[in-house]
Amino acid sequence: MRETDEELGEIKREIIESRALVIKTNNLTNALSADVKSIAKRQATYEGRIRWNSATAYVVFVVVVFGALKLTWDARVDQIKAETEGHAQEATRLRKEIKDANARDEDRARAEAKALAFYDLVRQGKRQDVVEQWASLEKEPLSKAERAFYTDIVGRTKAELAISLWLQGLDKMKLQRWQEAVNLFEESLRLKGEGEGTPRVRLSLAESLKKLGRFKDAIPTLTALSEGTVDREVQDDALYLLAQCHTELQSWNDAKEAYRNLIRRFPDSSFAPQAKMYLAQLNVIH
């Protein structure tokens, strides 16, 4: 009986221990389950963050790629626009050069035609036409050699025409057609300008002005001739005419001074005796 009780007690004890073990096992199982759930939750959260990070990274990557493509595309578009504008400018420049070249060819052809017609005038000896046409031809695009050649021809033609006009003026003086002589002398001076023979033309002009009674107009020319370094024959003639002009204007002191200069500077002049006589008269009267 005692053995039976001991066995039952042993069985109870084993049952209690088994129950405690089951409870402990159950608690451990619950704790493990909670840990597993926690780990699973953390894993899910981690995977969620990974998915969001991946999505964000993908979006960022796509944005970067599209941005790079946009920049590349814009750069290429700008390059093409620049090349297009450069080609357009080059085409405009070439068109302008072609237009300018055509204009130069037309101008050159026109200049050659005018030059040929001008040379025909030179060969025909039409000096007046040569001088008049030169003003138009001079503006044309002539070569340096052509311009120098025609300039020399025009210079010689002007000189010849000026001499011819001066001789015609002298003929008018002989006929006492003083105004016509003045016109011819002035035209001669306009063509010739300053140079050899000009003082004699100016002297003839001044003498013609004196004959017309235009003493004030003659005096500046005569004064310049008498004071300038020119032909001595022109100087003594100029002084004599200058004294007469001052006398006509009743500028007695200026007339006396002109006669004195004539007598002092040109004592051998053919006008010297008359100058002495007129000076003596002026000294007595004035």
Q: What is the pLDDT of residue 179?
A: 94
Mark whether 108 and 196 lie in a shared domain: no
Q: What is the pLDDT of residue 115?
A: 73
Residue 240 domain-assigned (yes or no): yes
For 239, residues 6+ apart whose C-beta sits below 8 A from its C-beta are 222, 226, 258, 259, 261, 262, 265, 266, 271, 275
Mark whether 100 and 196 lie in a shared domain: no
Residue 179 domain-assigned (yes or no): no
Residue 249 predicted with pLDDT over 80: yes
Residue 112 predicted with pLDDT over 80: no
Q: What is the pLDDT of residue 176?
A: 92
Give 1's pLDDT tier (boundaries 50, 70, 90).
low
Give 178's pLDDT tier (boundaries 50, 70, 90).
very high
- Kindly report the CATH number assigned to the domain that includes residue 191: 1.25.40.10
More confident position, 254 or 151: 254
Residue 227 domain-assigned (yes or no): yes
Q: What is the pLDDT of residue 182?
A: 92
Residue 254, class by beta-carbon neighbours within 10 Å (0-12 exposed, 13-18 middle, 19+ buried)?
Answer: middle
Domain boundaries, position 246: 186-285
For 104, residues 6+ apart whose C-beta sits below 8 A from its C-beta are 141
Last-in-domain residue among 86, 105, 125: 125
**Average pLDDT value for residue range 159-174:** 87
C-alpha closest to that of 182 among 165, 198, 197: 165
Domain count, the chain: 2
Q: What is the pLDDT of residue 5?
A: 67
Name residue, tokens 């003003």: 135
Q: What is the pLDDT of residue 82?
A: 85
Residue 4 domain-assigned (yes or no): yes
Give 2's pLDDT tier (boundaries 50, 70, 90).
low
Residue 135 domain-assigned (yes or no): no
Percent of the chain with pLDDT over 70: 95
Q: What is the pLDDT of residue 196?
A: 59
Residue 143 domain-assigned (yes or no): no
Last-in-domain residue among 125, 157, 175: 125
What is the rounded distance in angstroms from the CA atom of residue 179 to the CA atom of residue 222? Answer: 18
Q: What is the mean pLDDT of the chain?
A: 82
Mark whether 3 and 111 lie in a shared domain: yes
Residue 116 domain-assigned (yes or no): yes
More confident position, 153 or 210: 210
**Average pLDDT value for residue range 179-208:** 84
Q: What is the pLDDT of residue 230?
A: 63
Give 141's pLDDT tier (boundaries 50, 70, 90).
confident
Residue 163 domain-assigned (yes or no): no
User: Is the Cα dihedral 240, 241, 242, 248 positive or negative?
Assistant: positive
Last-in-domain residue among 100, 125, 150: 125
Mark whether 112 and 190 lie in a shared domain: no
